Structure 1
């Protein structure tokens, strides 16, 4: 599985956050104006996924077992739901 989801370009057209799925884990790319952070988390290290829905966009909160939570912003509600479903499918395997 090599799926990739990007945040909406409306809120941050030059630096959208990204979620990339691999065979062993997920990479979360959180971008800012002058820096970006890549976080790779093995599926087995994820203890939960939360979605906070706004009026238009959603925030995805990943809760790893032994590190601080990862927050990625401005995803469409459909993409946020799909990201959560894909992660939970792999976590339960």
Structure 2
């Protein structure tokens, strides 16, 4: 059940963003040059998922019920972004 998706290494070869699925929720790891953030959200706390697609890569935005700010993870392939959204919605709205 622990599925993992990593962002493309073309734009950020050393520190790609990641999405990790577990039994109870999903972990989002967003990495930058001098900082990183790791957010765990229970499936039941996810209010929505949006994908913003560019020519080559997609950005995934997660809206969690208990947070004001969206969780943003970047540089995923369009196919991976769609799969991440599909898995989150499937598990969050059972």
> What range is the shorter-chain TM-score in?
over 0.9
1:14-25 → structure 2 map (5 Å cutoff): 14-25=14-25
What are the ranges of 5 or more consecutive residues in structure 2 without an aligned counterpart?
none
Match of 1:27 in 2: 27
Question: What is the aligned residue count?
Answer: 93
TM-score, normalization: structure 1? 0.98
What displacement does 1:34 show? 2.3
SS in 1 for 2:10: coil
What displacement does 1:77 show? 0.1
1: distance between equivalents of 2:52 and 2:32?
20
1: distance between equivalents of 2:51 and 2:70?
13
TM-score, normalization: structure 2? 0.97
What are the ranges of 5 or more consecutive residues in structure 1 without an aligned counterpart?
none
2: distance between equivalents of 1:62 and 1:12?
21
RMSD: 0.6
